[in-house]
A and B are shown apart, each in its own frame.
Chain A
Amino acid sequence: MMTLDSKIPPGPLETKWDRRRFTEKLVSPGNKRRLNIIVVGTGLAGASAASTLGQLGYQVKCFCAQDSPRRAHSIAAQGGINAAKNYQDDGDSVARLFYDTLKGGDFRSREANVYRLAQVSTQIIDQCVALGVPFAREYGGQLANRSFGGVQVARTFYCRGQTGQQLLLGAYSALCWQIERGQVTMHPRTEMLDLIVIDGHARGIVVRDLVTGQMTAHMAQAVVLATGGYGNVYYRSTNAGGCNVTATYRAWKQGAAFANPCFTQIHPTAIPPADTHQAKLTLMSESLRNDGRLWVPIAPADRRFPEEIPLSERDYFLERRYPRFGNLVPRDVASRAVKAMCDEGRGVGPGGHGVYLDFADVIERQGLEVVRERYGNLFEMYQRITSEDAYRVPMRIYPAPHYTMGGLWVDYNLMSTIPGLFVIGEANFADHGANRLGASSLMQGLADGYFILPYTMGHYLASAPPSSLAEEQRASCAAVERVTGRVATLLRGNGRRTAASFHLEVGKILWDHCGMARSRTGLTGALEAIPALREEFWRDVAVPGSGEAFNQELEYAGRVADFLEFAELLCHDALHREESCGAHFREEYQTTDGEPQRDDDRFAHVAAWEYRRNDSPVLHKEPLVFEFVQPTTRNYQ
């Protein structure tokens, strides 16, 4: 029987983390040398964790599927990273960052976790500066800030539109140092395909060498998953092509609870797709909403060019509906508003899938050069993709799946329901509740990796029971066999359809029924359609080549196979949550003017799902207790 013990320390919010760090057991330096830790994934969370654990003296084995750890998808984050530094003296504080994040998540996250995140946020900036991250600076040499969606202070630190890249390269450089010192052994082009559990403890993983196809078991005293989110389950998303759910999904099947999978963030400002097969959608940074104004024509199906539509016939819908926050409302609110406009037939561009994001006012007010300096690279990117010049005509944007707040359930120590299995970064569910605020994912990834996991893991290692060599031998052989059999099955398909065609189809089912708006009817239909599609996949998929060689199509088909199972879990969770909160919008639960209706009496809980072989997943609830903050209606009007 699965139990969910959040292990949140009692007592005042402000000192919970300090007290936890004091009461945790430590591992002596001499013993650290003898302990092996596996870290899977080298994004912000994985690279910062692997380097810090290596620095502490543990023997770390680090794995990534890319050819280099520097290519993890954190690299693509554009906008920035939040921290409660209050350098602008505009009223920011740890408490305010905590409150904004908790409220932004629509009160579906733990107070204690979010408060700790806000506390360590300031250390992250200092650490990154020490690593040489070239943050934007003012003329006087101080760190510069900008504001981001959903908040009223400027607390976002940035490196042009490439903040994720610079933070990741900082963490990667720290990782390089530890590799050079021999503390971390790096295994690039290696994909985790299963988790090895012995006597209820995570003790290793099975990986496939993507160049030779060889399957190997690696054993350790603890396993850390930093494998990112599952946004690619929608096929079309802003995620990199390689992002997938496989590692966390396999851990789920080995007994780790999966929490809140239906909390998937649809980002409002991506470039609309040009073609039905296009999977990759390019994000236009949220920072554009600082100066760009969203509008659609007032009249439906207005096919005039934007410059021909006079001001009186335009609807600046975010400013109209949310006068207090205007274009800076949080992502979920903006995405839903965009969808509502398009559903009313007022969308623009091909298929009516788009709204304008217009910079004419700021160009007139502050000049072309200012706009060019702020957003030049984004405008350039936009022009390359659409062949349109956003300095002259408004951009067209449309929402796209971007980030997943759901993930493996973890306690306050970032440990999953399998002892010894830690989950950090986007792969866990912890800190963003039902909606993540802009510039918070980089903060969370680095908080987990640099400052939280390295402390909490010691306590587990100091108290974990050893496992016998014979047991390890048996369990690792069984796991390798399991994975090898699965690969062989994938290669035996009839070859009638490509894996991509199945991915596209399951993605469409989810986008239509478990995307920006969900309903009981739609979800029930999806839950019937997905198993049938999955069956067809295993029968008809075409995977050429062999398993004992470099085979990208085999890698991809394996990931699609997991998406086809995981999609069902996503729908189960969305169906169970009979309320609208954050990114999860159930059509049955809305006010007369279309605002979401949260139900704190019935749904102020984390939904943690347990895997059952040949049966529906079982729901466990972790109640969310708000001791310090009174959940309010999230009102951006």
Chain B
Amino acid sequence: MKLTLKIWRQQGPHDAGRLVTYETDEVSPDMSFLEMLDGVNQRLILKGEEPVAFEHDCGEGICGSCSLVINGVPHGPERGIATCQLYMRRFSGGDMITIEPWRARAFPIVKDLVVDRSALDRLMQAGGYISVNTGGAVDGNVLLIGKEQAETAMDAASCIGCGACVAACKNASATLFVAAKIAHLSTVPQGKPERARRVAAMMEAMDREGFGVCGNQYECEAVCPKRISTRFIAMLNREYFRAGLVEASSSGEPDPLQAESY
């Protein structure tokens, strides 16, 4: 089929950038969206032009590299997938497709459709971990974790860190990203000792990195390739409130093995 592509081209972070139109007619419905772009690039290279820069790696929706806004929607028209899992059979011959990068203050453009998402790594460095040393861990069955609890942790932990939630949010907030990590680590018993410190540190880092605040529009959930639920944002808010209580109390974080005191 034949398509008209309007692709964002931008040499670097300080270049103005613009949409450039490309016609392509060698598209089969069984191709993935990224294979279609590869085809466009192969032809540009042979013409001596610079190919369109875009990110992709695993091709199966798990590494979180791919990051295209397709017709105004991060990861395109299909729910619950990353760009690399989008196939051309979703489109029809003659369609015009607009392709843009993630747009957020915290994600400066590197080139064309590639943005710098290192702010997400810095959020994780602020507190998205359990500080245990290698070696000396107790047997994995010592702390029992109920199936439902494990499933909830897994639902949250399946975030691939692509940043679509930020790109979809009108405030460019990373709340769903932070919420997923907070929910994961505060659901498993191993993460409980650092609960209060973790959530405070990650929320503070989110402000520092230039992400906006959550406006409860749920755009993030709608575009999330792993369908991370906004109920984790509710958990995040609860954890954040709880952290305030823990900080205010003189005894600090309660013993995680005792009954919940907050």
Q: Which residues of A contact B (CB under 8 A)?
A: 48, 51-52, 55, 66-71, 73, 75-76, 85, 87, 123, 125-132, 134-143, 159-160, 162, 164-166, 169, 172-174, 176-177, 179-180, 186, 188, 211, 240-242, 274-275, 277-278, 280, 282-283, 381, 384-385, 387, 450-451, 454, 495-498, 500-501, 542-545, 549-550, 552-553
Q: Which residues of B contact A282 (CB under 8 A)?
A: 59-60
Our pick among B49, B125, B158, B190 for the contact of A176 (Cβ within 8 Å) is: B125
Q: A68-B121, A71-B63, A173-B124 given as contacts; is B134 within 8 A of A127 (CB)?
A: yes
Q: Is the CB of B145 closer than 8 A to any CB of chain A?
A: yes
Distance in angstroms between the alpha carbons of A134 and B185 in the assembled complex: 9
Q: Which residues of A contact B144 (CB under 8 A)?
A: 137, 140-142
Given A159-B157, A381-B61, A550-B111, 11 extra CB contacts under 8 A:
A70-B161, A73-B57, A76-B60, A125-B140, A137-B147, A139-B147, A173-B129, A174-B132, A174-B134, A180-B125, A274-B28
Our pick among B141, B143, B154, B160 for the contact of A159 (Cβ within 8 Å) is: B154
Q: Which residues of A contact B20 (CB under 8 A)?
A: none
B184 touching A134 by the CB < 8 A rule? yes
A165 touching B60 by the CB < 8 A rule? no
Closest to A496 in B: B46
Question: Which residues in chain B, 26-65, are within 8 Å of chain A measured between CB atoms?
Answer: 28, 30-32, 35, 38-39, 41-42, 44-46, 48-51, 53, 55-65
B124 touching A131 by the CB < 8 A rule? no
Q: Which of B1-9, B81-89, B232-240, B247-255 is near enough to bind chain A?
A: B81-89
Q: A68-B120, A73-B58, A241-B56 given as contacts; is B160 within 8 A of A165 (CB)?
A: yes
Q: Which residues of B contact A129 (CB under 8 A)?
A: 137, 140, 143, 190
Question: Which residues in chain B, 117-137, are within 8 Å of chain A measured between CB atoms?
Answer: 117-118, 120-121, 124-126, 128-135, 137
Task: Using C-beta atoms within 8 Å of the partner chain, give the interface range for chain B.
Answer: 35 or more
Q: Which residues of A contact B61 (CB under 8 A)?
A: 381
B58 touching A240 by the CB < 8 A rule? yes
A70 touching B190 by the CB < 8 A rule? no
A67 touching B117 by the CB < 8 A rule? yes
* Interface CB pairs A-B, < 8 A, 13: A55-B133, A68-B64, A76-B63, A123-B137, A126-B138, A134-B153, A139-B146, A142-B141, A176-B128, A277-B39, A280-B32, A450-B135, A545-B50
Distance in angstroms between the alpha carbons of A385 and B32 in the assembled complex: 8
Q: Which residues of B contact A (CB under 8 A)?
A: 12, 28, 30-32, 35, 38-39, 41-42, 44-46, 48-51, 53, 55-65, 81, 85, 87, 89, 110-111, 114, 116-118, 120-121, 124-126, 128-135, 137-141, 143-147, 149-150, 153-154, 157-158, 160-161, 184-185, 187-188, 190-191
B130 touching A130 by the CB < 8 A rule? yes
Q: Kindly count the residue-residue contacts between A and B in the assembled complex, taking CB atoms under 8 Å apart.
A: 218
Distance in angstroms between the alpha carbons of A456 and B89 in the assembled complex: 53
A68 touching B60 by the CB < 8 A rule? no
B30 touching A274 by the CB < 8 A rule? yes
CB distance from A617 to the nearest CB of B (A): 31
Q: Which residues of B contact A186 (CB under 8 A)?
A: 121
Count chain A CB atoms within 10 A of each CB in B45, B111, B133, B157 and give the residue with the most: B45
Q: Which residues of A contact B64 (CB under 8 A)?
A: 68, 70-71
Q: A129-B190, A240-B58 given as contacts; is B35 within 8 A of A278 (CB)?
A: yes
CB distance from B170 to the nearest CB of A (A): 24
Distance in angstroms between the alpha carbons of A195 and B228 in the assembled complex: 42
Q: Which residues of B contact A179 (CB under 8 A)?
A: 125
Q: Which residues of B contact A549 (CB under 8 A)?
A: 12, 111
A76 touching B87 by the CB < 8 A rule? no
Closest to B115 in A: A67
Q: A126-B140, A160-B154 given as contacts; is B129 within 8 A of A174 (CB)?
A: yes
B134 touching A71 by the CB < 8 A rule? no
Q: Which residues of B contact A143 (CB under 8 A)?
A: 140-141
B146 touching A67 by the CB < 8 A rule? no
Q: Which residues of B contact A71 (CB under 8 A)?
A: 57-58, 63-65, 161
B53 touching A275 by the CB < 8 A rule? no
CB distance from A430 to the nearest CB of B (A): 20
B57 touching A177 by the CB < 8 A rule? no
Q: Which residues of A contact B62 (CB under 8 A)?
A: 75-76, 162, 164-165
Distance in angstroms between the alpha carbons of A498 and B126 in the assembled complex: 43
Q: Which residues of B contact A545 (CB under 8 A)?
A: 50
A451 touching B134 by the CB < 8 A rule? yes
CB distance from A308 to the nearest CB of B (A): 24
A211 touching B59 by the CB < 8 A rule? no
Q: Which residues of A contact B184 (CB under 8 A)?
A: 132, 134
A498 touching B45 by the CB < 8 A rule? yes
B131 touching A177 by the CB < 8 A rule? yes
Closest to A164 in B: B62
Distance in angstroms between the alpha carbons of A134 and B148 in the assembled complex: 11
Distance in angstroms between the alpha carbons of A180 and B121 in the assembled complex: 11
A165 touching B134 by the CB < 8 A rule? no
Q: Which residues of A contact B31 (CB under 8 A)?
A: 274-275, 278
Closest 10 CB pairs of A and B: A141-B144, A173-B129, A280-B59, A134-B153, A130-B137, A126-B137, A129-B140, A274-B30, A137-B150, A240-B57
A68 touching B150 by the CB < 8 A rule? no
Distance in angstroms between the alpha carbons of A544 and B49 in the assembled complex: 6
Q: Which residues of B contact A69 (CB under 8 A)?
A: 121
Distance in angstroms between the alpha carbons of A180 and B133 in the assembled complex: 14
B48 touching A55 by the CB < 8 A rule? no
Closest to A497 in B: B46
Q: A132-B184, A159-B154 given as contacts; is B128 within 8 A of A550 (CB)?
A: no
Q: A71-B57, A165-B160, A451-B134 given as contacts; is B118 within 8 A of A188 (CB)?
A: yes
CB distance from A11 to the nearest CB of B (A): 24
Closest to B131 in A: A177
Our pick among A70, A85, A142, A552 for the contact of B51 (Cβ within 8 Å) is: A552
Closest to B133 in A: A55
